Amino acid sequence: MKIKNSIQRKKIPKFYTLNFFIFVLFSFFLFFNFGFCTTVIVNSIDYKDILAAAVYAKHYDYNFLFALTPNQSVFMVKYYTLNKDEPIIYLEGKNTVLANMASLLKEANLKNLSLYKPENIQFWVADRLKSEEAFVVGSIYGQDGLAVSSYAALIGAPIFFYDPAQKDEFISYILLKNYSKITIYGTVNSYISQDFLSSIKNKEIIDKGSRYLNNLEIVKKFLAKKKTNQAIFVSGYSFEKSMIDKNFPILLVGRSIVPSYYIDFIKNNNITIGIVFSGDADIVDGTNYLKNQVQNLEFFVKFGEGYRGSSQPLPLAIIPLPSPFLQIDVLNLSYNVPLKVFDLKVKNLGDPLFLAAAISIEGVGSGQSSQIFLDKNKTTSFAIPLDASTAIVNNKIKSLSLTINYGEDSALMDNLEVLNIENVLVSNYVDNSTISLIGISYNSKTKEFVLAFDGEGWVEGTISFNINNRAIVLQIPLTQIKGITKIAIKYFLTEEEENYVSDLDSTYFFRYGSKNSILLKEKRGQNKIVVLNSSKAQQTQTFQNILSYIGFFILVVVALIIIFRLFFTKRNWWE
């Protein structure tokens, strides 16, 4: 009895009391932050709604869910509403996966359910993110939006998908938000409204002519904010909710090969862990190539996902993103004797692409074409230089190997076709076209580059230059040249950029020929850019005008003095 009383009277040490208090506080923290973690559910078939909402959810560390089918929607309602106290944010787009999903959530008797059916989910998200920055990407393809998404989630910046059909509403909203910085990302820069671009005071344009170079610019920004040795590797052609993570940057991977500068970047930034997703577009060869080039890089594959109430992990919910459709048709191949080139005729059956071809003949050698751009549904003939005269027998070349590389990105054409062709016919087609580039100017008022050509024939090609290490590649559209002909290419430059490119050497490359479908001749070289009507030029002109007026005034004064002196000299002489 005495022992029992002594135990009851024994005081609990302050150390244990303090630890117990800390444990209780930590338990409450876990309970409210993990036990009642907010879940964002998106009911929309529009990938733009899904990506925009994912950035919002990931920035605030919320669970994020979307469904591809009505059955998946029902499943989410069933297994993510078991705890009636958990907060649910439901976002419904204009085009839904399950029409009555909101009703099912209401019937679940959730204590903390918020239902939203905004006119525009992108705008709804932007109103709830506190960042002074924003991203503008194109709406045609999903790869640009995905490439910036993890960094956007890290800094809490909304992503706006520019759609030319809705540009008025889009531009009005963004300007109303008065962001301190807007980043224009990707090829959207080339077709976005010039009025909109000029109205943005503080903007950054990331458009280096390659989706991989653009991607690295975003990864650099991410690593400057948050250092990590892990990255998420994706194709850019599909989306799974775990791809957006504010702790890890997103790196795009091609189907088969990886640019050398990409490999150097991974090595220099000590990226040693890569996550890939089962069901993403085919990047197996690309990741294997990357692993062989970076010895300490390890890849882990995510195959499934566990759910409450299910003993088995379920397949990943992966939505395809709009991506370029690439397909070409080889129509004809012949050998042009006068020009000593192979004439390859192809048709583009899909979206705009870049392509190049090579020919190999046993006992003769091999030749490689220049890279060309081929627009949608267009047909062209281009040249593959190779002197194959010794291989001609009876107006034919017995056999050869043709290799064609093509892709939507000029820096990485990772689609490959290899054809073995027999009995290639020869051609004596004579091309009498003669075209030369006279000059390149930029008109500050009309915001366009103007190329002046002289000659006779058809021409198309590119001009390229760098602005502060940002590569600019502009397409010269297929145009008929008759005498001196000017071709205008719309492109927005800021006043600072205009001053930068003034007298800057640009590189030009163009193909030309007598017929618009047969462009077998090529020219390349450099030409200075002359900036017209710029503020700097106007200031210089004004200064020159002032000097002219001063000079004229001095001249008049001197003339008057001379006349005056002559007059009085004559008067004195008369007297």
**237 assigned to some structural domain:** no
Per-residue model confidence (pLDDT) at position 165: 80
- CATH (domain of 415): 2.60.40
Question: For residue 545, what pLDDT is reported?
Answer: 53
Residues 5 and 27 in one domain: yes
Domain presence at residue 190 = no
Helix (H) or strand (E) holding 488: strand 485-490
pLDDT band at 216 (very low <50, low <70, confident <90, very high): very high
- Of the listed ranges 138-147, 151-160, 197-206, the least confidently predicted one is 197-206
Q: Is residue 439 included in any domain, yes or no? A: yes
Q: Strand (E) positions, 273-410?
A: 273-277, 298-302, 304-305, 314-315, 319-320, 328-336, 341-348, 353-361, 365-368, 372-374, 379-385, 392-393, 396-407
Instruction: Tell me which residue has tokens 């640019």.
Output: 259
Please tell me the least confidently modeled range out of 126-140, 229-243, 353-367, 466-480: 466-480
Same domain, 334 and 410: yes
Domain end: 427, 445, 470, which one? 427
pLDDT cut 70: percent of the chain above it: 86
Q: Is residue 30 domain-shared with residue 110, that is, in the same domain?
A: no
Which tens digits make up the pLDDT trace of 116-139?
A: 999 999 999 999 999 999 999 999
> Is the domain of 362 the same as that of 402?
yes
Domain boundary at 96, 128, 160, which?
A: 128
Q: Which of 128, 152, 178 is the last residue of a domain?
A: 128
pLDDT bin (cut points 50, 70, 90) of residue 518 is very high
**85 lies in a domain?**
yes
Which pTM value belongs to this model?
A: 0.78
Range of the domain at 20: 1-35
CA distance 210 to 119: 33
Do 480 and 558 belong to one domain?
Answer: no
Residues 342 and 395 in one domain: yes
269: in domain = no
Q: Are residues 414 and 348 in the same domain?
A: yes
* CATH number of the domain enclosing 73: 3.40.50
What pLDDT, on the 0 to 100 scale, is given for residue 450?
Answer: 97
- Inter-axis angle of helices 211-225 and 260-268, to 10 degrees? 10
pLDDT confidence tier of residue 207, bands split at 50, 70 and 90 = confident
Regarding whether 524 and 444 lie in a shared domain, the answer is yes
345 and 400 in one domain?
yes
Asked if residue 27 and residue 51 are part of one domain, the reply reads no
In terms of pLDDT, which residue wins out, 257 or 139? 139
Question: Is 464 within the bounds of a domain?
Answer: yes
Q: Is residue 482 part of a domain?
A: yes
Res 338: pLDDT: 95
To the nearest whole number, what is the mean pLDDT of the chain?
Answer: 86
Domain CATH for 475: 2.60.40.1940
Q: Are residues 43 and 25 in the same domain?
A: no
Residue 293 lies in a domain: no
- State how many domains the chain has: 5
- Give the pLDDT mean for 424-432: 95
Identify the CA nearest to 197 among candidates 162, 166, 155, 145. Answer: 162
Domain shared by 412 and 337, yes or no = yes
